[in-house]
Every structure is written in C-alpha cells, then in structure tokens.
Amino acid sequence: MADKYLVTGGAGFIGSNVVDELLRRGYLVRVIDNFSTGRRSNLDHLRGEVEIVEGDIRSYERVHNAVRGVDYVIHEAALPSVPRSVQDPLTTNDVNVTGTLNVLLSARDEGVKRVVFASSSSVYGANPALPKLEDLQPMPLSPYGVAKLAGEQYCMAFFHVYGLETVPLRYFNVFGPRQDPASEYSAVIPRFMRMMHAGQAPTVFGDGMQTRDFTHVSNVVQATCDAAMREGAAGEIMNVAYGRSHTLRDLVAIMATALGCQVGPVYAPARAGDVRDSYADVTKARELLGYEPLVSLEDGIRSMAESVVSPSEDATP
C-alpha cells in the first residue's frame, strides 16, 4: 500500500501545490487546515482524492488526530508575513511555534517516519553575509523570523533527543500559482502583478535596490517532496531557492515586460523587520536532495502574466 502523507496547511498556496505533487507521485494524502489563509478552492479539483481535516494546529488534540495513521508529515501550516508578525507577534508565535511543537509531538507519539518543516530565509535576518549559507549565524529581524528559527530548533531537538527524523527547509521568497494577491499581507509578486495589470503603480518600500532570491513554487515543491524520502537528509537544514538575486527594481521591470505595460514603482519608507538582501547558496540541497531549480523568475513571471491577461483583453485595441 502507498505511503500516506499529512500536509498541514494543505489548502494554502505552497501546501496545495505540495498536495498535487504527492498525488502525482502516487501517495495517499490527508490535509489539515483551518482555512484562515488557505482556500477551499485550492483543493476543489481534488475532491474525493484527498482526505480533509478542518482544524487549527494550535490544538494538540486536533493535530494528533490528523497525524494518526500517516507515514510522513509535511508541515506547511503557518501564519505568514513579516509585517503581520510585527503587528501581532503573539498570534504569530502561537501558530508558528506552538503549532509546530504540536505537530512534532504528535509525529513523535504516532511513530511518523519523518517531518519536513517549511522554514524561511527570514531566519538569516540582519546577517550581512552573501550568499546565505546554512551554517551562518541566524539573526532574525522580525517576530516571524524568530518563530521560524524556533521551529527549526524544535525540529533539531526532536531529531537528537527523540530520534524523530526532521528536515527543516529554508524557503526563499516563494511565488507562483494560487498565491493570493488580495490579502493585505500578500507577497510582493502577486500584489504587484494585480496592481500593474490594473495600471496602478506598485509601492516599493525602501529604495528598490534591496535584493531577493525569488523562487518559483514548482522548485520548492520538488525539494519538499524529495526531502521526505531522501537518505541522508534527516537532521539537516537546507536552503531552497533559485540561487540568484534580483532587486525589486529588476522585478518591476520584468513584470512590466511580461504584462506589456509601462507602469513603474512608487517608493515609500522601508518597513520594520524587512531584510535588506537575500540570496541563497543551494549547494547543500543539490548534494543531499539532488535539487535542481528549473523555473527562473523570468519564466515564472511570464507564466503568471499569461494567466492574468486573458485572450479577450489581449485582443482589445
């Protein structure tokens, strides 16, 4: 019988893409989500193929019931967004730290083979070294980064103390299909895409020369699913990124070209908690997971633009 996976946050942007890939690989999948940021529509095309548990990871009982009977856990559930964490650090901690601890405890108690944890490049924070290597000292600037670092450390403690196989993956600025552009806390690419398509100038916080390693979700999904199975990955923290940096000014220019518009950015003061530069070394993931990012920022933006600009709009003079 095929192995069974639990994907926490499986109705979310990354989680639902992970669910698709696991099913494509022939595994059984259960999802737990409270649908606070995840959307039911992300799983509508999988009705009958996925077991859905509605619940909050802050409840140990709910998480334990969801974990029971699965072989692997991919822990994507989180309260995302650096700005949100600055405004509400308590809830960010409850979801991202206590929730993660509930997942690890449940996995330990139910004899799960391995937990893959979605961490974040935000743990590097103020550390100026580039590219970001996994052995750099973490210096998180935001409560979100602190919470993700705490989750990593819990993973490592459970690996060393209880023998639970864990693999924390530090995602870098993930973008792609199903990313919600409407939220106040939505990531920069879907928000900019929606605004520029409407002819509105996107707001860049800071001078626009800050850099990010934008990573298409298909690259992240591949690494995440492989991390659950690969020998030698347990107990290892790895970057998952494209391995190339772009300034936010570059990003706006790439998006303008893809959308066929002339919209430029407007600038506002930098936000508290935002990292200045981010660029990953992905050598470790390449060596341990066989990871090779296939979709570039340019290709990913082009694909997103094609889905935003409908054929009827293209034909409008």
pLDDT, tens digit (0-9, with 9 covering 90-100), for 63-74: 999 999 999 999
CB 58 within 8 A of CB 102: yes
The predicted structure's pLDDT at residue 1: 82
Average pLDDT of the chain is 94
Which pLDDT score is estimated for 309?
Answer: 61
Helices (H) and strands (E) in the chain, counts: 12, 13
Angle at 274 between CA 271 and CA 278, to 5 degrees: 145
Q: What does the pLDDT read at residue 273? A: 85
pLDDT of residue 29: 98
Task: Tell me the torsion sign for CA atoms 285, 299, 245, 95.
Answer: negative
Point out the catalytic residue in the list 5, 144, 154, 171.
144
- Is the dihedral angle over the CA atoms 46, 36, 90, 125 positive or is it negative? positive
Residues of the chain falling short of pLDDT 70: 184-185, 309-317
Cα distance between residue 282 and residue 215, in whole Å: 12
Phi, psi of 315 (to 5 degrees): -80, -10
How far is residue 112 CA from its own chain's centroid? 22
CA–CA separation, 190 vs 70, rounded Å?
Answer: 34
Q: What is the pLDDT of residue 314?
A: 37
144 has catalytic annotation: yes
Q: What is the pLDDT of residues 92-111, one digit of tens each?
A: 999 999 999 999 999 999 99
Neighbours of 264 (CB within 10 A): 14
Structural domains of the chain ordered from first start: 4-175+215-240 (3.40.50.720)
Angstrom distance (rounded) from CA 167 to CA 159: 9
Take residue 266 and report the two structure tokens written for it: 């407007």
Note whether 116 and 227 are within 8 A (CB). Answer: yes
pLDDT at position 317: 27
Rounded to whole angstroms, the Cα distance separating 18 from 1 reads: 20
Q: Would you state the pLDDT for residue 184? A: 67
| Residue 217: strand, helix, or coil | helix
